[in-house]
Structures are given as structure tokens and as C-alpha cells.
Structure 1
Amino acid sequence: MRSYLFLAAAVAAFTPGAVLAQHDDHSAHAQESQATSQADSEAGPAQAESDHSAHAGEPVAVDPHAGHVASAPAPEGAPPDPHADHDAAAGGQPTEAASLPPIAGPPPEAFSGPEYAADGVFGETAMAIARRTELGAMHGGVKSYRVLVDRLEAQLVDGQDVYLFDAQAWYGGDIDKLWLKAEGHGGFGGAFDGAELQALWSHAIGPWFDLQTGVRLDVGPGEDRVHLVLGVQGLAPYWIELDAAAFLSDEGDVTARIEAEHDMRITQRLILQPRAELEFALQDIPSRAIGSGLNSAAIGARLRYQVTQLFAPYLGIEYEAATGETRDFRRAAGEKVSGLRLLAGVRAWF
């Protein structure tokens, strides 16, 4: 029985399938040995020693730069490639970003021609006029207007209620405008005290201020008077709106006025506006009860609520005092020389 089993095992071992499997196994071992030998020869003695250490059970340090290849420096002007030092594949093929052509600026020949090529066809003078006209029409030739009622208010002064209006309007472009101003006051149920009207040419002398010149006409119960006007109006630092002007009357009297106000936003709609006004005279003007130097000063504040951007009612308080010889003129005429008054009015524009 044992002889039959031994004979069957011998026959199975020498069948063609078993022979082929054994052959394939030997071939695989041979190829692996050949590949290992080739890799050892390419890596050098250090790599071979590392491999032998690993087989021996010793720990092997991992190279953090394994699998990376050094790349050529990027061309001048080209953006840095974050993957420049990484191999795209195991075969070391260049990445797509590394194969892009360098980015360079325009060639020098691009700046060798004239700045305005059309000058050579139509002439420099004609093209300069055309460019100035076209740019002016596109960016600065638009005409616009504005009408502002800065103060339309009732003033309560010791039972003597008076009204006051202060308005201005302009029409024109960015550089030149026609500017109109009107200011007057009177008593409720009483006589009209007087007003002044100004017609000015306003010319921009910078991004923040306009130079204004023109005429002023004083109208009222007394004799009308005409003045020449020279002043500036604009936006001072810290967003202070400033209006300063000097006046030369047809009688040779020289006076001046400075007005300043500033909007302080408490909320998007609630605005506090401090305001100050100073008046000066170069000489005494007895017919108008005005003394030389600083003759009057008014300072106050108005708190307005902006119902819309075009309409805002307000309440306020203001203190006014006459100074110098103007105070003496007013006392002699039986008028108040100083006082505190309550204000209620509206501010509007369109």
C-alpha cells in the first residue's frame, strides 16, 4: 500500500503543470534578485548598506526628500511654482507648470513710437484740442444745479419772535458756477428788517475751495446799498464748511464776514450742527450802527432730524453779542446788545 502512495506522489510531482509552476516560481525569484542587485548598484554603497541594515532588523531613517528631484531655476519674471521641486511622477517627468513659457513684459519696441499716434495724421494742435474737448465733455462738462435752504427758522428772543432765512443756489460745472445767495430777517407781524442778495462767479481754486467774486445788494426799509464781493467758500479740514468774504460798499466801507459750521452725525438721521458767525468792519459806520473791528459774534448749535435727504426739521440754541463800538451804537438806540435765543426751523435742498 505504501509503495502505491509513493508512486502516485512521484507521478504528480513530475507532471507538466507542476513543472511549469515550479519554473515560474524560480523565474520570479530570479527577476527580483536581479532588480535588487541593479538598484543596489545604482544607489551606491550607502543605499546598499541601508538595505542590509533593514534586513538585519536595524531601524532605518526615512529621507524627507525621497522622491523629490531638483528642478532648474525659474526664468526671470516668471511666478514661483509651488510644485517646482516635486517630481510629477515616478519617472521624473516635468510638471505642466514647469513646462509653461516664461512671462515677460512688452518689448522695448512697444515704447519707441509716438505717445499719440493720431498726431502724425491730423497734427498735434488739432488732436490736443480734440482730446481736451472730448475729455471735458466726458468728465467735467456736465452742468448741474442745487438750491439749498440752509436756515429757515423762527427765533424766540425774550418775547420778540423774529424769522430768518438763509438760502443759496448755484448752477454750472466742476470749475465755474453762477452762485446766488440770499439772507434776511424780520419780525412776525412787524416790519421787514432787511435782506442782502449776492450774485457771484465761483471758480474752483482747488479740490476743496472756490474763489467767489461778484456783487451784493442790501435792500430794506432804509437806503439800498451795493457792495463788491471777494471771498472763498469750501470745505476746510475736519469737514468744516467755511464761507468767508470781504465787502466793499459804494460808500467806501469795508466789512467782512466769516461763517463756519460742521455736521456731527449722532445717528444716520440725527445730526448736530455747531455753527459760528463773526462780522468785522474796517472803520466805523454810524449810519448802520457798526463799529470798527469785530462788531458781533454768534455761536450756537442746531439738532436736526433728517426725515429724508431733502428735508430736515431742527431745534437749536444760539447766543449773539455785539462788541466794541457796535455795542455802544446799539445801546444808544435802545437795542439789546446780547442775548440767548431758541431756534426752530427746517433745512431743505433740491
Structure 2
Amino acid sequence: MRALISTLALPALAALSGTAAAQTQADAYYPPEEMAAARAALHHATGGARHLFFRTDRFEIRQQRDDEEVLLWDIDAWYGGAINRLWLKSEAEYSFDHDEFEELEVQALYSRAISPFFNLQTGIRHDFEPDAGRTHAVLGVQGEAPYWFDIDAALFLSDEGELTGALETEYELRLTQRLILRPRAELTWSAEAIPELGTGSGLGTIETGLRLRYEIRRQFAPYIGVEWGRQLGETGDFARAAGERTENTALVAGLRVWF
């Protein structure tokens, strides 16, 4: 079987698909049932396998300028193959001072590869905080832009008819084999004002940060960093009216884990 699979692989995996394959010289020497088994094994080994991936991209404590301590997580996981995957994403902010979640959302998405570097994603997002009643339809793209910039962009249409969006980009600058500096930026916007959420129309928030991590192992890396954020436009006006800061800087310390 191993020799037969190697023979099949020689013609550049010619026209292999889930239902049909091009004729090869091996078809003249091996029975159809062995050819079918060999093609199935080759297809599985070259992209048909299913995998499970889990990552805490950010799991950190933030010490903010007003001395408030916040726990933040940004977790994602997927199961599937090279083309089709089921994604789960979750982001949250928990305030130790107020002993409550200020933000908590979960997304369940279907992802399909549309190019070697980008995936189209669609599904639902539910907000448990700050408004536990909102559910959103999601349409987005995620992948690697030229020069290895990670991009995650999405549109959200809530069950209240509100259209919002977010764009996140990251880059890894490898200082040594284990020491990595990671700049990050995130921008949010809304098509209309949502006063009950303190969200104005247009650009809403911008966050930028730097995190320096040390990879004890590739899958396990503590980090430290700094994060700066600002509320813009009408969103900033809502914050000022509520007596809140529109700009904040925080020191962060956390852990990045994946498997």
C-alpha cells in the first residue's frame, strides 16, 4: 500500500478530489478496490485530516491608569480540515473592582478557505454583557495579509437591526528564537448610534498595544506589555456624559497558550 500511495503521488496529486481522480499508470497493475483505498489514504494524508486547535491569544491582567484591575481573555478554537472548519471565539473583560463582567461575547462560526491565506467566516455572536439580549449575525474574513500581518475583520448585524464592525491586525517581530515582540491594533465602528450601549455612529474605539513574550515552549509563553485605547467621536461623547475616561493606558501581564 505504501508503494502504491507513492506511485499515486508522483503525478502531482493529479486531479485528486473527494469523488474522482485522474487515471494513473498504477491503475493498469492494481485492482480497483486497492486503488480506491490508496487514493483515500493519500487524500487524507494531504489535506483530508481533521484537527482540533485551541489558543488563548490573550489571557492577561491589566493594571489601568485609574488603578482598576481587569482580567481580559481572547480565546479561539477550531475543528476541521484545510478547507472547512468550525470556529469558536470568545472575548471578555472582567473588572475586579466592580466584581462583574463588563464585556462578554461568544461567537460560533463556519469558516471556509477562499485562498491559501484567507478564510471567509459566517455565523452568530451572542453578547452576555453589557446587554445580555443581543445576538448578531456575523460575516468576516480572517487570515494573513502580505508581509505576514494577521487580519481579522468582521461585520455584525444585531437582532435589533444595528450594523457594527471590527478590524484587528497583529504582527510578530521575532527578536530571538524565543523572544517575540507583537504589535497589535483594533478599530471598531457603528453605522448608527446605540445610546443604551454607549456607542456612537462612525468610528467608535481604537486600541493599540505592544506585547513582549518569551516562548518557554512554542505553545507556552508568558508576556508583558502596554495597551493604549481611546473612544472616538460620538462614543467618546457618551463616555464623557457618563463621567468616564475617553482615553486609557494599561500595563498588561499574561500568558499565551495553544495546542
Question: In the superposition, relative to structure 1, how do residues 129 and 328 fare at CA in structure 2: closer, same or farther (>3 Å)?
Answer: farther
Instruction: Give the match for residue 221 of structure 2.
Output: 312
Instruction: Give the match for residue 279 of structure 1.
Output: 188
Instruction: Give the structure with higher Rg (CA).
Output: 1
Instruction: Give the match for residue 10 of structure 1.
Output: none
Q: Which of the two has greater strand per residue?
A: 2
Task: Please give the secondary structure, in 2, of the residue aligned with 1:287.
Answer: helix
Deviations 1:31-58 (A, max 9, x none): xxxxxxxxxxxxxxxxxxxxxxxxxxxx
CA distance in 1, matches of 2:247, 2:130: 23
Question: In the superposition, relative to structure 1, how do residues 200 and 174 fare at CA in structure 2: closer, same or farther (>3 Å)?
Answer: same
Q: Is the 2:121–2:142 Cα contact (8 Å) retained in structure 1?
A: yes
- For structure 1, list consecutive stretches of 5 or more residues without a partner in the other structure: 1-113
Task: Please give the secondary structure, in 1, of the residue aligned with 2:189.
Answer: strand
Instruction: Give the match for residue 343 of structure 1.
Output: 252
Instruction: Give the match for residue 56 of structure 2.
Output: 149
CA distance in 1, matches of 2:103, 2:70: 12
CA distance in 2, matches of 1:192, 1:179: 23
Q: Is 2:81 the partner of 1:169?
A: no
Aligned residue pairs total 234
- Please state how far the C-alpha of 1:163 moved relative to its aligned partner: 1.2
Question: In the superposition, relative to structure 1, how do residues 200 and 337 fare at CA in structure 2: closer, same or farther (>3 Å)?
Answer: same
Q: Is 2:89 the partner of 1:187?
A: no
- Please state how far the C-alpha of 1:253 moved relative to its aligned partner: 0.3
Q: Is the 2:187–2:206 Cα contact (8 Å) retained in structure 1?
A: yes
Deviations 1:92-117 (A, max 9, x none): xxxxxxxxxxxxxxxxxxxxxx9646
Question: In the superposition, relative to structure 1, how do residues 221 and 285 fare at CA in structure 2: closer, same or farther (>3 Å)?
Answer: closer
* Counterpart among 160, 166, 170 of residue 68 in structure 2: 160
Q: Is 2:132 the partner of 1:242?
A: no
Question: In the superposition, relative to structure 1, how do residues 186 and 136 fare at CA in structure 2: closer, same or farther (>3 Å)?
Answer: same
Q: Which has the higher contact order (CA 8 A, sep 6+)?
A: 2
CA distance in 1, matches of 2:255, 2:208: 18
Q: Is the 2:181–2:210 Cα contact (8 Å) retained in structure 1?
A: yes
Instruction: Give the match for residue 96 of structure 1.
Output: none
Q: Which of the two has greater helix per residue?
A: 1
Percent pairwise identity:
47
* Counterpart among 114, 117, 140 of residue 231 in structure 1: 140
CA distance in 1, matches of 2:244, 2:73: 21
Question: In the superposition, relative to structure 1, how do residues 132 and 283 fare at CA in structure 2: closer, same or farther (>3 Å)?
Answer: farther
Deviations 1:253-279 (A, max 9, x none): 000001111110111111000000000
Partner AA of 1:283 in structure 2: E
* Counterpart among 169, 179, 187 of residue 270 in structure 1: 179
Instruction: Give the match for residue 178 of structure 1.
Output: 86
CA distance in 1, matches of 2:117, 2:43: 20
Partner AA of 1:342 in structure 2: L
Instruction: Give the match for residue 16 of structure 2.
Output: none
Task: State the TM-score, normalizing by the size of structure 1.
Answer: 0.63
Q: Is 2:119 the partner of 1:210?
A: yes
Task: State the TM-score, normalizing by the size of structure 2.
Answer: 0.84
CA distance in 1, matches of 2:55, 2:231: 28
Instruction: Give the match for residue 325 of structure 1.
Output: 234
Deviations 1:116-148 (A, max 9, x none): 4649x999xx9x988874542231111111100
Question: In the superposition, relative to structure 1, how do residues 247 and 132 fare at CA in structure 2: closer, same or farther (>3 Å)?
Answer: farther
Task: Please give the secondary structure, in 1, of the residue aligned with 2:228.
Answer: strand
